[in-house]
Amino acid sequence: MHVEEPGRRDAPTAPDGAGVTFVMPVLNERDYLRRAVESTLAQVVPGPSELIIALAPSTDGTDDLARELAAEDDRIVLVDNPAADIPIGLNLAIRAGRYPTIVRVDAHSELDPGYTRRALDTLTRVRAANVGGVMRADGRTPFQRAVARAYNSRIGLGGGAYHGGTREGEAESAYLGVIRRVVFDEVGGFDETIRRGEDWELNLRIRRAGYRVWFDPKLAVTYWPRESWSRLARQFIATGRWRGELVRRYGTRNSLRFFAPPLLVIAIALSVVVGVLQLARVLTGWWAVAASVVYIPVLVYVLLVLAVAIGPGGGSGWRDKLWTVAVLPTMHVSWGLGFIAGVLGGAHDTVDTSRLGDRNTPLP
């Protein structure tokens, strides 16, 4: 495929009223699926629409609920995704769709009422291949609200545009994304060997093909994070490991912000080693004083976590604040450990087991 300078090719447009295909990969989402489907079907779009749900083998009754929803609305089409991998499910759903514009939806998300109409207008206005907006995390419990606060904070997920950006323009990637099918087909669809970060990798190929990936801050999606500490940690370990794999494959094309969590892990490890050596009196005198510089990054990090916890945003209760103090290091350390493992050894068959429920939940 001929590679051009990113942003120089206009993506083909679709006639107004040509139709929209929503695609949603689903696994163990019974508590969230109905609201996600309802917010999707409530989108007002010119022309016909359909929702293709790629149904992985769930253990919580999601399959039954999906079939119930499909019986209620003939716009819903179910396709089987026995592999349970997100990129495979997305490709299956897109191949089953009929319309020239694809809107990716997550079962943990809810679209603002005017989301799709705005995205279609933006695609046409800037001739982009893919458009995304802001992930607006929210929570229903103190723990989930703390995770949402971390997601929405620049400290939490590194300040990517879709975590709170306000300036419209070309972007590295797009959250979920509204994409022209012809461009999706041209670049080869989702890479089914990548289980996490598949959207970033797809957008990299779109940009390398010369097309624009666009961020529009007026597009907003409500996202419901993981509901327990163990699920959050497992999610971020898997995400970090796959980001490490993407660094192995694509090197410096990855943003520098992805390297912050592993550097934090290294700083914590060095602080522990120096502390032990100081307590054992192996490091004494000026050597001990000089080595204490390793504590500075960790101290700065602790102060940043406390600032986020007691600052504005999120829930105001003391439990929300305490959970924020626990959640931020959980996200960063889990991601950093996964990243280091991914860079050193690759991701291989790593999966996000947080999507499979708690550890005592029987797996398919």
pLDDT of 79 above 90: yes
Cβ neighbours, 10 Å, residue 74? 8
Cα separation of 223 and 162, whole Å?
A: 12
Give the helix ranges, DSSP H, for 106-223.
115-126, 142-152, 154-157, 181-187, 198-208
Q: pLDDT by residue (tens digit) across 110-164?
A: 998 899 999 999 999 999 999 999 998 888 888 999 998 888 887 877 655 555 5
Strand duo 213-223 + 101-104: pairing: unpaired
Q: Residue 77: beta bridge partners?
A: 52
Of 192-206, 226-240, 313-327, the one with minimum mean pLDDT is 313-327
pLDDT of 361 above 50: no
CA distances from 122 to 19, 160, 173, 202 (A): 16, 20, 16, 20
Q: pLDDT by residue (tens digit) across 48-63?
A: 999 999 999 999 999 9
Q: How far apart are the first and last CA of the chain?
A: 39
* Predicted pLDDT of residue 316: 61
Cα separation of 132 and 123, whole Å?
A: 10
pLDDT of 357 above 70: no
- Identify the three-state secondary structure at position 114: coil
* Predicted pLDDT of residue 4: 56
Averaged pLDDT, 16-34: 93
pLDDT of 45 above 70: yes
Q: Where are the domains of the chain?
A: 20-227, 250-356
pLDDT of 238 above 60: yes
| Rg, C-alpha atoms of the chain | 22
Verdict on whether the full-model pTM lies above 0.85: yes
**What is the DSSP code (8-state) at residue 217?**
E
* Predicted pLDDT of residue 363: 30
Which of 33, 103, 96 has the alpha carbon at shortest distance from 68?
33
Cα separation of 225 and 341, whole Å?
A: 24
Q: pLDDT by residue (tens digit) across 172-204?
A: 999 999 999 999 999 999 999 999 999 999 999
Q: Give me the chain's average pLDDT, please.
A: 89
- pLDDT higher at 52 or 252: 52
Do 353 and 59 form a contact (C-beta atoms < 8 A)? no
Report phi then psi at 53, rounded to 5.
-100, 120
Cα separation of 229 and 241, whole Å?
A: 18
Under CATH, what is the fold of the domain 20-227?
Spore Coat Polysaccharide Biosynthesis Protein SpsA; Chain A (3.90.550)
Biggest CA–CA distance in the chain, Å, is 76
